[in-house]
Structure 1
Amino acid sequence: MDHYQPSTSTEAALHDYKTGLGIFSKKMPELARHYNQFTEECFKEGSLSQKEKQLIALGISIATQDEYCMIYHTKGCVDQGATEEEILEVAGVSAAFGGGAAMSQSVTLLQESIKELNKYKQ
């Protein structure tokens, strides 16, 4: 039984994602291994920095309304040193493609995640 008590909604979502991924990995180890290798390769430093790749992934997450990925890649952006201004610029560009739905996620879930993740940096 899982007794973990997250202190924020962002932390809870990240925990749920990691727990679900762990269960999936046990049930489908080869598929999970290949998927993880592929995504690790995609996010390696290259012509684009890891920060730039996280910002791109965040923008795609917002435009496609993938809430877990929005939280996960907001964390990735913060971890890679992206500023709140950079993250919100990504949100604006995403809203240009994703319309009102993307903007509603940006002014709620995204801003909440930024606030909660920045608490840990201080």
Structure 2
Amino acid sequence: MKQQHTSVEAALRHYKEGVGTFTQKLPNVASRFHAFTEACFEEGALSKKEKQLIALGISLATQDEYCVIYHTKGCLDEGASEQEILETCGVAAAFAGGAAMSQAVTLVQECIHELTMKH
């Protein structure tokens, strides 16, 4: 029996499918954007984990739900602890107020739960 996908996994799949369609229609733009963002997230003076935490904070402040999900996963993939992720949410809320906090107490915590639970 096939495992049913969670809402977080479904959102990640939906985003990936959208990127694929966009890449087919505008390959020149998509490849350049991908190369740029890949370079931005390379290890440097800041670690990949620190960059993912920054991206999560910005995603919360700008209310970009797909990026909140994507960068919460990125934080976990780079070894960020739940405490580091939640502190990042707190900093985002200090700048963006209740809108960022509402995403932190719902979407981010749902992502952490769904992406770390054993299947």
- Which category describes the TM-score, using the shorter chain as reference length? over 0.9
Whole-angstrom distance in 2 between the partners of 1:67 and 1:100: 15
1:26 aligns with: 24
Task: Please give the per-residue CA displacement for 1:81-110, whole angstroms capped at 9, x wherever unaligned.
Answer: 000000000000000011001100000011
TM-superposed deviation, 1:119: 1.3
Gapped regions of structure 1 (runs ≥ 5): none
Whole-angstrom distance in 1 between the partners of 2:73 and 2:55: 11
Aligned residues: 117
Alignment counterpart, residue 84 of structure 1, candidates 82, 95, 102: 82
Q: Which amino acid aligns with 1:74?
A: T
Query: Runs of 4 or more off by more than 3 Å in structure 1?
Result: none
Alignment counterpart, residue 14 of structure 1, candidates 2, 12, 15: 12
Report 1:1-122 matches (<5 A). 7-120=5-118
Q: Identity of counterpart residues, as a percentage?
A: 66
TM-superposed deviation, 1:39: 0.3
Check conservation: 1:6, 1:12, Cα contact below 8 A: no
TM-score of the aligned structures, taking structure 2 as reference length = 0.95
Gapped regions of structure 2 (runs ≥ 5): none
TM-superposed deviation, 1:7: 1.5
TM-score of the aligned structures, taking structure 1 as reference length = 0.93
